[in-house]
Amino acid sequence: MSPPFSRISALAEDVRAGRTTAEALTRSTLDAIDRHASLGAYLHVARDAALAAARGVDARRAAGEPLGPLAGVPVAVKDAFATVDAPTTAGSKILTRDGQANTGWRSPYDATAVARLRAADAVVVGKTNLDELAMGSSGENSAFGPTRHPLDPERIPGGSSSGSAVAVACDSVPLALGSDTGGSIRQPAGLCGVVGLKPTYGRISRYGLIAYASSLDTVGTFSRDVRSAADALAVLAGSDPHDSTSLRDRPDDYAAACDRDPRGLRVGVPREYFGDGLDVDVRESVERAIARLASAGCEVAPIDLPHTRWGVATYYVLATAEASSNLARLDGVRFGLRVEEARGGIDGLYGRTRAAGFGREVKRRILLGTFVLSSGYYDAYYGRAQRARAAISAEFAGAFAAVDVIAAPISPMPAFRLGEKLEDPLAMYLADVYTLPASLAGLPAISVPADPVPARSDRPALPTGLQLIAPRLEEARLLTVAAACETRARP
Amino acid sequence: MAIDRDLVLHLATLARLDLGPEEVEGLTADLARILGYVDELAEVGGADAPGDPARPSNLRSDRPAPGIAAEVALAAAPRTVLGGFAVPGYVDE
């Protein structure tokens, strides 16, 4: 699967210079989407709207008007973002009129991240599949069918931004929008062999992203290369009056950061991320990627992050608590599904609509969140998890006094088989162990392809990735190290 | 923490989820297992739950600004009546 797409800023330059057209790029993308339809990466292909937008970009060029930094670049959007020209379902029946994806909620506004992409003259080609309401780590929880791994359709691509990862991995688009609450960009990026960037919490506005766990939800991207991630971040980052948690801090020059010399940067390797449960082949790939950073001139040293062991429990208390509150708005009154019977009043409407509209994993998390917030259990679960979160953040802050970035695995194993963990939610949660701590601390982190794990009797050769984590607001440093790793990985 | 069927039914009432008997059974087992694991947070010490000082606050000025028009908001509603969202009667008939 050699990438036909170059860096996204170079593609845009080709459009501006007239070497290609936005329409040609969009048509080629729509063809690729059709070719890979069996992977289930898209819930909605915005064929007409995309072609109209592309022709608009080409017409403005023909009229001599200046074009934006992503002129004509085809972009796929995780279906958790509101879009005016395509239905939004978040992978859930509850946002549809009748349980079908094409009757999804028609938003009267674009999410800020989508609006910024459009303002940069990118072309939104469709909405990608996801675990329902962004809850899941395998891409199997969508109400509209699973997303499949591009190298082995009997395997999972990871989740929850499963369709966005697959859309980039099978080269239907050079850029896709995702969201990462506990690893939902980094993990599928790692399992599919693409770059997944989760910036600092608040770096990109969450306005128009359907809320799962608001203190953790972070908008980010999938791309083929690190430099495209930098180009996209430059467009997406910045404060937004519609999101009071968006940061006012000035974005850095992310493109320049990719070309900075990584020599002398200190890379910490946490021992706790290489313990029991890490697949031996994944471990070797990650260790080789870290060795390449050393040969690029980084100073690699072991560190300790013992509170890592609290990550899974802390996340599944706090995220579900926030979800149980956020999802209360999905009640059959203002949008989507409505299941009404003659009797039962408004409580009957709520109860029946939500029972019919939510899938098993969402119900599980709503009940868990309701439990940890309920009278008598709040202090023992929610209060304790808040303290654990503060301890995890403080531990990262201490580690960053001694190192510039942290390098670790993303997922304990390569892509597993569809259905393998579906009946064991705890096993599924435990596979998030390496991505949750950076989410809880709100830190920027990136997934960069490492060497694939070799084929064995029970699995083909599969992608794996290296996770890099930087201090808050230090996306530029993250990109410097990620680009160095990528340069070394591709001789 | 013992998780039983009655507790799950109580949580489902609080969460406005009408669960079928089979769902209740499965979710009771799931919650028992997950909360059994979460109990390892018992080792977390400290008395107060501090807020995260790194969390930013970017409040916009408290001035009225145009929002989404009522008819636009109502356009996505499953049922409307007299320019509002329609809901069943509050008191059962």
DSSP labels for A44-64?
EE-HHHHHHHHHHHHHHHHTT
Whether residue A340 and residue B88 make contact (CB cut-off 8 A), yes or no, is yes
Instruction: Provide the token pair at A66.
Output: 């200046």
How many residues are given for chain B?
Answer: 93
- Known catalytic residue at A393: no
Left, alpha or beta for A264 (phi > 0: left; psi -120 to 50: alpha)? left
Mean pLDDT of B11-38: 96
Instruction: Provide the token pair at A43.
Output: 């819930």
- pLDDT tens for A323-351 read 999 999 999 999 999 998 878 889 999 99
What per-residue confidence (pLDDT) applies to B56? 53
Inter-residue contact A160 to A182 (CB < 8 Å)? no
- Shortest CA gap A109–chain B (Å): 9
Q: Give average pLDDT by consecutive 10-residue segment, chain A, 491 residues.
A: 70 97 98 98 98 98 98 98 97 96 95 98 98 98 98 97 98 96 98 98 97 97 98 97 92 97 98 95 97 96 97 97 97 94 88 97 98 93 95 97 98 97 94 97 97 94 98 98 79 37
Q: Looking at the complex, does the CB of residue A215 fall below 8 Å from at least one CB of chain B?
A: yes
- Known catalytic residue at A198: no
- CA-to-CA distance for B4 and A152, rounded, in angstroms? 40
What per-residue confidence (pLDDT) applies to B91? 59
Q: What's this model's pTM, rounded to 2 decimal places?
A: 0.96
Residue with more model confidence, B51 or A321: A321
Which member of A92, A107, A137, A160 is catalytic? A160
Confidence at B93, pLDDT banded by 50, 70, 90? very low
Burial bucket for residue A55 (CB in 10 Å: 0-12, 13-18, 19+): middle
Burial bucket for residue B86 (CB in 10 Å: 0-12, 13-18, 19+): middle
- Shortest CA gap A352–chain B (Å): 6
Q: What is the mean pLDDT of chain B?
A: 86
Whether residue B52 and residue A244 make contact (CB cut-off 8 A), yes or no, is no
Is the backbone peptide bond immediately before A228 cis, with ω within 30 degrees of 0?
no
What per-residue confidence (pLDDT) applies to A1? 36
Q: Looking at the complex, does the CB of residue B71 fall below 8 Å from at least one CB of chain A?
A: no
State CA A227 to chain mean position distance. Answer: 17
- CA-to-CA distance for A182 and A132, rounded, in angstroms? 15
Whether residue B41 and residue A317 make contact (CB cut-off 8 A), yes or no, is yes
What per-residue confidence (pLDDT) applies to A258? 97
Q: What is the mean pLDDT of chain A?
A: 96
- CA-to-CA distance for A333 and A329, rounded, in angstroms? 9
CA atoms within 13 A of residue A206's CA, in its CB half-sphere: 23
What per-residue confidence (pLDDT) applies to A3? 43
Confidence at B57, pLDDT banded by 50, 70, 90? low
CA dihedral A338, A342, A344, A350 (to 10 degrees): 0
Closest chain A residue to B89, measured at CA? A345
What per-residue confidence (pLDDT) applies to A422? 92
ipTM of this predicted complex?
A: 0.93
What per-residue confidence (pLDDT) applies to A2? 39
- CA-to-CA distance for A33 and A49, rounded, in angstroms? 15
Inter-residue contact A117 to A132 (CB < 8 Å)? no
**Which residues, including other chains, have CB under 8 Å from residue A127's CB and lie 6 or more apart?**
A42, A43, A44, A46, A76, A77, A78, A79, A81, A83, A86, A87, A88, A89
What per-residue confidence (pLDDT) applies to B67? 87
What per-residue confidence (pLDDT) applies to A159? 96
